[in-house]
Amino acid sequence: IKFEQGILGTPKLTENVEFLGHQFDLTLFRAIISSVEDTASSVAKTISSQLPLTFPISNSSAESWLLTTYLDDDLRISRGDAGSLFVFIKEGSPLLTP
């Protein structure tokens, strides 16, 4: 995989998550979730007043391999060669709807 562009935006975290066919209620973590959302929003606004911020990645070291460990119609979870973890959500997926 070769990364050509990065996008910085404000994440939206949800209180209910379905993963591997199981429903998880994260309302107990609402304070932590709100804190993460607020911090990410503050950092993003400091960097750019207009979101999302896109930037090119032209470095040849931005290439890696990925091992897909989970895949369904909306979600792909992959691990990279440097121990990184990637969670990809398909554009238009209901997982992206608050």
Pull the structure tokens for residue 12.
Answer: 């939206």
- pTM of the predicted structure, to 2 decimals: 0.41
70: Cβ–Cβ under 8 A, 6 or more apart, which residues?
20, 76, 77
Supply the pLDDT for residue 22. 75
Average pLDDT over every residue of 1-9: 74
Using a 10 angstrom Cβ sphere, with 0-12 exposed, 13-18 middle and 19 or more buried, the burial of residue 84 is: exposed
Of residues 9 and 96, more confidence is placed in 96
Helix (H, G, I), strand (E, B) or coil at 92: coil
Residue 33 CA, distance from chain mean position: 14
